[in-house]
Amino acid sequence: MTDMRRSIEALIIILLFFGTIAGTIVTYNDALDQKNLEITSLKSKIADFASQNSDLKAQEVNLSDQVARLTELEYAKLQCSLGVTEINDKNGGGMVEYSRLFIQGSVFNVGNVTAYNAGLRVVAYAENGSLEINMTVPLDNGGDFGTDGKTEAYVLSQEQFWGTQTSLQLGFVSGLSIIPVSLNIYHEGDAVNWAICTVWSNN
């Protein structure tokens, strides 16, 4: 009887021990599940914050671009649309003694303010790489210009026939306005390639 009692007590102790362990395991598993849910929730929030951060950065870039465009309009900015042709009448029996670079098109001031000292910077080269033209001319409609003493004298001699304009004084282009350009630059050689860009100042 005593052995039976001891066996029952031992069994009860064992059951209580395993019950406690089982309870602890269940409690631990519940706590672990809860922590996993919290981790999943935090990861979702981190992903949301990262997405919001990305959106805010995109908005910042967009706003920076808008500010840059608006700021840009507070200044003069000349854009050109020009056609350029090298014309050589001297070898074809023509009356013209020199070659000429003919420039025609338009220049648009996309800024809101006046562009001062506006003109075209023209650089042209012969086939052998020698410099034919290196000058800045005004945005002229109907002007003729020479590159050296001989071509300038030729242009001046023809002024009475053509009504040419030889002044190299740069002019201005009002904000948000477009002006036509048509001019000749006379030179002694033959140009085969060239670069033309607008020049101006904001005051």
Q: What is the pTM of this model?
A: 0.63
11 and 109 housed in the same domain: no
Total of domains in the chain: 2
Going edge to edge, which strands form the sheet with 141-146? 78-87, 99-109, 178-187, 141-146
Contact at 8 Å (CB) between 200 and 76?
Answer: yes
65 and 140 housed in the same domain: no
68 and 82 housed in the same domain: no
66 and 89 housed in the same domain: no
pLDDT in tens, the chain (203 residues): 576 777 777 667 776 666 677 667 767 777 777 878 888 888 888 888 888 888 888 888 888 887 776 666 678 999 999 999 999 876 555 667 789 999 999 999 998 899 999 999 999 999 999 999 999 999 989 889 999 989 988 888 877 666 555 688 999 999 999 999 999 999 998 999 999 999 999 88
47, 73, 99: which is the final residue of a domain?
A: 73
191 and 121 housed in the same domain: yes
Residues in the chain: 203
107 and 168 housed in the same domain: yes
What Å distances lie between residue 88 and 12, 97, 202, CA to CA? 119, 9, 37
Structure tokens at 90: 């001297």
35 and 134 housed in the same domain: no
140 and 194 housed in the same domain: yes
193 and 97 housed in the same domain: yes
Look at strands 78-87 and 131-138 and give their pairing. Answer: unpaired
57, 73, 89: which is the final residue of a domain?
A: 73
The CATH number covering residue 149 comes to 2.60.40
88 and 187 housed in the same domain: yes
* Residue 153 belongs to domain spanning: 78-201
32 and 108 housed in the same domain: no
